[in-house]
Amino acid sequence: MAANREDFEAMPQAACPMSVGEVDLFAPGAQEHWYDSYKLLQAEEPVLRLPGQGYEPGSDAYVLTKYEDIRKVVRDPDLFPTRQGPGSSGTSKIHDEIFEDEGFGDVVTARDRLRPDIETHKLHRETLTEPWVGASGALQHRDMITAHANRLVDNWIDKGEVEFVTEFAAPLPQAVISTILGFPLEDMPMTKKWEEAQVRRFVYGFGPKSQMEDPDEEDNAKALVAFNRYIQEQIDEKRRNPKDDMITFLTEVEYQGEPLADGDIISVVSGMHIGGNETTQYALTSEAMLLAEHPEIVEELRADRSKVRFFVEEALRLYAPTQGLSGRMVARDTEIRGVKIPAGSLLHLRWAAANRDPELCEAPDEIRLDRKSPGKHLTFSIRPRGCPGAGLSRLEQNIAVNVMLDRIDELKLARGKNDFKHQPGIMLGLYELHLAFTKVREAVPVG
Ligand code: HEM
Q: Binning pLDDT at 50, 70 and 90, where does residue 2 land?
A: low
Spatial contact of 157 and 439, defined as CB atoms under 8 Å apart: yes
For 250-274, the pLDDT digits (tens) are: 999 999 999 999 999 999 999 999 9
Q: Choose one of 76, 183, 380 to mutate for the ligand 1 pocket test, by most ligand atoms within 8 angstroms of C-beta.
A: 380
Centroid of ligand 1 to alpha carbon of 380 (angstroms): 6
For 50-90, the pLDDT digits (tens) are: 999 999 999 999 999 999 999 999 999 999 999 876 666 66
Start-to-end CA distance of the chain, whole Å, equals: 67
For 426-437, the pLDDT digits (tens) are: 999 999 999 999
What was the pLDDT predicted at 84?
Answer: 78
- What is the percent of the chain with per-residue pLDDT over 70, rounded to a whole number? 97
What is the residue-averaged pLDDT of the chain? 95
Q: Which atom of ligand 1 is nearest to the CA of 74?
A: 16
What was the pLDDT predicted at 445?
Answer: 63
237 three-state secondary structure: helix
What was the pLDDT predicted at 169?
Answer: 98
* Helix, strand, coil percent values for the chain (each to nearest 5): 55, 10, 35
Residue 285: is its pLDDT beyond 90?
Answer: yes
Beta-bridge partners for 412:
436
What was the pLDDT predicted at 447?
Answer: 53
What was the pLDDT predicted at 5?
Answer: 87
- Ligand 1 pocket by Cβ (under 6 Å): 74, 133, 177, 271-272, 275-276, 279-280, 283, 321-322, 325, 327, 351, 379-381, 385-389, 392-393
Residue 150: is its pLDDT beyond 70?
Answer: yes
What was the pLDDT predicted at 386?
Answer: 93
What was the pLDDT predicted at 83?
Answer: 86
Q: Which atom of ligand 1 is nearest to the CA of 393?
A: 27
The protein residue with its alpha carbon nearest to ligand 1, atom 37, reads 387
Spatial contact of 333 and 48, defined as CB atoms under 8 Å apart: no
The amino acid occupying position 106 is D
pTM of the model: 0.96
What was the pLDDT predicted at 14?
Answer: 95
In Å, how far are 103, 221, 227 from 98, measured between CA atoms? 9, 7, 13
What was the pLDDT predicted at 291?
Answer: 98
Centroid of ligand 1 to alpha carbon of 389 (angstroms): 6
How far apart, in whole angstroms, are the C-alpha atoms of residue 7 and residue 1? Answer: 7
Q: Which atom of ligand 1 is nearest to the CA of 327?
A: 15
DSSP 316-343: HHHT-SB--EEEEE--S-EEETTEEE-T
Residue 230: is its pLDDT beyond 70?
Answer: yes
Q: Does the domain formed by 5-439 have CATH 1.10.630.10?
A: yes
What was the pLDDT predicted at 338?
Answer: 97
Domain ranges of the chain: 5-439
User: What's the rounded mean pLDDT across residues 198-222?
Assistant: 91
